[in-house]
Structure 1
Amino acid sequence: MNFSLYIAKRYLLSKSSNNAINFITLITAFSVIIGALSLFVVLSGFAGLKDFTLQFTSLIDPDLKAESAAGKSFSLSETEIKGLNDIPEIVSFSKIVEERVFISFDGKSYPNAFIKGVDSNYEKVTRIDSVVPIGSWLSSQTNQIVTGWGIANRLSVGVLDYGKTVDLYIPKPGKGQITDIKKAFNSVNAVNVGIFDVNETLNDKYIYAPIEMAQHLVNYDSNQISAIEFKLVPDADENQTREAIQNVLGDAVVLKNKSELNDALHKMLNTENLAVYLIFTLILIIALFNLVGSIIMMILDKKKTLHTLFNLGATIKDIKKIFFLQGSLMTLIGGSIGLLIALLLVWLQKTFGFIMLTQSLPYPVSIKLENIIIVFITISVLGIAASKIASSRITKNLVSN
């Protein structure tokens, strides 16, 4: 066995004759365990919040979305439709028309909405029906709409209220001054048949309608659309599918996946996660100052023993290595214990939901392999660096006198 490693293990496991040093060593080991535990628990909490936030948008986000590369719309020919149907990785696709719309209902108005016209395939591409808690999904080629929860709440829109229709207005394209307000807008009287609930942003933004209604409101031709949303087969090669779709549609469109469609949300969540990681890493660095102090105290306590080892032929490098290994072992063992306890706590929360956000919603947590690796590497690097700093205090003068 390596000489320095053998002595380091003995020093790590044996008690010192000085109770103060034993107490400091115990505090150091405890701080390493708590540091690793708290860092992993916090990262797991943020991972859970991220998954919880994204799970709702993922229900209505397609696997891929083709948007117009220039302008608001592009044309989709029958040949292109056949070409898309021939791509084996595509399960289904839905044509989309999207535009800002002015909504009026029972004397109230809402100017910040978007109408999203969808065809009959939309339910095959997304799980939109699972986020419609009130009413039902719309039927094609009708004047039915499904409204976001926020919009419905602000306008006091009910479901299947045929006595009070929802009025939708979109300005007609053109130039010059408006001389007749009635002729300046395309309008439709619609019946709300359902209310969807995804998240606050989408609830306040969208109403869904049949694509024919949306095309009428924006003066589009029957083959003119804003986007195409795709559902892919499980484990489909995204790059290969992108290339196949691009070959069919050409440069008229740009393709985006789920992450790219929610780019701002992903950036916000990742920034928050990074900020919390850096804050807790700083706390961990401060906690590991205990390790430096503990090793220095141990060096002073073992001064006579080190003098003996030096006289027996141990080099200064060997003696430095003893305390470097002692600190490193303490960090690795303490970090591993902290991680195991943290894994158990996160698993218990995930399984039994001891901490609740609401009466029915437990605080979301998620166990991810990358977080385990991040915590272990962080605690190891910081602990090894602290051990190196402490062991470097050993000099020939110290052990020879």
Structure 2
Amino acid sequence: MNFPLYIAKRYLHAKSSNNAINIITIIALVGVILGAASLFVVLSGFAGLKDFTLQFSTIIDPDLKAETAKGKSFFLTEEETRQLDLIEDVTVYSKVLEERVFIMSDDKSYPSAYIKGVDNNFKKVNTVDSILDQGSWFQDKTNQIVVGSGISFNLSFGVLDYNKAISIYVPKPGKGQITSAEKAFNTVNAVNVGVFSINEKLNDTYVFSPLSLAQRLLNYKPNQISAIEFKLRPVADQELVRARIKQVLGNKVVLKNRVQLNDALYKMLNTENLAVYLIFTLVLIIALFNIIGSIIMMILDKRKSLNTLFNIGVNLNDIRKIFFLQGSLMSIIGGLFGIVIGLTLTLNQLYGPLALKVFITPTLPYPVRIKIINVFIVFFTIAILGILASKIASSRITKSLVQNY
């Protein structure tokens, strides 16, 4: 039998003759339970909020994107196209051309837009129907465009609004003094057939158009593009596909996956997640000071029993181990109860009745996501901090304390 563990369990269940010690122990245990539950709920809430944010930011991001490594564009040859078609794990790919443009509609102007010319395969790479608020997607080889809701609002035009003339301008490359607007800009007149809504930044930035329109606006050749967007099979080995694409296109492109395309956003969300975890860990550390106080009070209350144990041959290390195990068990049990409570609250937010949910807006429940890794993070955080607290408290037992009673 593990003697220190046996005594620690007895002390953990037994009530002290001093009611104040019982109250302190209960407060310490409740603090650990609430701390663990709070940490789990916050991590689950942040995981849900992260997914909620990313579903709008990455909705039009492909599985892989090959961007030009130098300059603004590159040429895709017929041989390269044929080899890309032979890559089995690539379901479909779309040729893309992006450039900053200046838009005018009647007397209003919008200088900070980007035109994104795409081919017919773009609808297969991305679910464009899910982003359209009004109208429909454009037809290929036309002057039709689909704009973000922010651009539509700022320029005051809607879908198929023929009373509003829409002109798209891009500066002509070259040197020398500008003598007229016609010589300074390439221009196309367009008809808006749809309005999309993704997030505020994209809504205020992008204009989708047929690839041919963008190439004509920029005086590009038919095989001159700025990027290729790939959709992969669900079971595809992304690294293997990257290697195959790189082998075909060489060093003229840089390949990025969905995470790399939103590198700044992912870094921000991960940093915020870490900050939230550290803040709540600090709260747990403060709560675990109660564990230290509770064990020290218990040591003082049990001095007579400790003196008896010492006199019958129990060494000082085993006596220390009794209270070390008591504090560790208190922390671990409290942590487990806290995780169960946190899991219950999170499940209620996911599947419970509407009356018991927390809402961001009157119709949108706060998003949460249960991740197994968060269970382990909370458990090990509580366990490690509880063990450290128990070690600090049990180290207060000295030979003179147990001898001189």
Q: Does 1:398 align with 2:401?
A: yes
Distance 2:104 2:181 in 1: 15
SS in 2 for 1:161: coil
**What residue identity is the alignment partner of 1:366?**
R
389-398 vs 172-181, which deviates more? 172-181
Q: Deviations over 1:232-277 (max 9, x none)?
A: 0002111100000001101110100000000011111111111111
Q: Which residue of 2 aligns with 1:333?
A: 333
Q: Which runs of 5+ in 1 are unaligned?
A: none
Distance 1:266 1:368 in 2: 18
Q: Which residue of 1 aligns with 2:373?
A: 370
Q: Which residue of 1 aligns with 2:150?
A: 150
Distance 2:15 2:235 in 1: 56
Q: Which residue of 2 aligns with 1:191?
A: 191
Q: Which residue of 2 aligns with 1:316?
A: 316
Shift of 1:33: 0.2
Q: Which residue of 2 aligns with 1:12?
A: 12
**What residue identity is the alignment partner of 1:364?**
P
Q: Which residue of 1 aligns with 2:104?
A: 104
Shift of 1:184: 1.0
SS in 1 for 2:94: strand
Distance 2:70 2:24 in 1: 67
Distance 1:243 1:230 in 2: 13
Distance 1:91 1:203 in 2: 28
27-36 vs 181-190, which deviates more? 181-190
Q: Which residue of 1 aligns with 2:360?
A: 357
RMSD: 0.9
Give aligned pairs, total. Answer: 401
8 A Cα contact 1:323 1:387, kept in partner: yes
Q: Which residue of 2 aligns with 1:388?
A: 391
**What residue identity is the alignment partner of 2:122?**
Y
TM-score computed with the length of structure 2 as normaliser:
0.98
Q: Which residue of 1 aligns with 2:82?
A: 82
160-169 vs 197-206, which deviates more? 160-169
Q: Which residue of 2 aligns with 1:299?
A: 299
Q: Which residue of 2 aligns with 1:266?
A: 266
SS in 1 for 2:231: strand
Distance 1:106 1:372 in 2: 58
Distance 1:351 1:107 in 2: 51
Q: Deviations over 1:311-343 (max 9, x none)?
A: 111111000100000000000000000001101
Q: Which residue of 2 aligns with 1:174?
A: 174
Distance 1:189 1:330 in 2: 73
**What residue identity is the alignment partner of 1:201?**
K
Shift of 1:309: 0.6
Task: List 4+ stretches of structure 1 deviating above 4 A.
Answer: none
Distance 1:253 1:160 in 2: 37
Q: Which residue of 2 aligns with 1:68?
A: 68
Shift of 1:165: 2.7
Distance 1:133 1:241 in 2: 34
8 A Cα contact 1:165 1:192, kept in partner: no
8 A Cα contact 1:291 1:387, kept in partner: yes
**What residue identity is the alignment partner of 2:21?**
I
Distance 1:377 1:43 in 2: 14
SS in 2 for 1:281: helix
Shift of 1:179: 1.4
SS in 2 for 1:304: helix
Shift of 1:150: 1.1
**What residue identity is the alignment partner of 1:384?**
I
SS in 2 for 1:59: coil
365-374 vs 250-259, which deviates more? 365-374
Shift of 1:161: 1.0
Q: Which residue of 1 aligns with 2:234?
A: 234
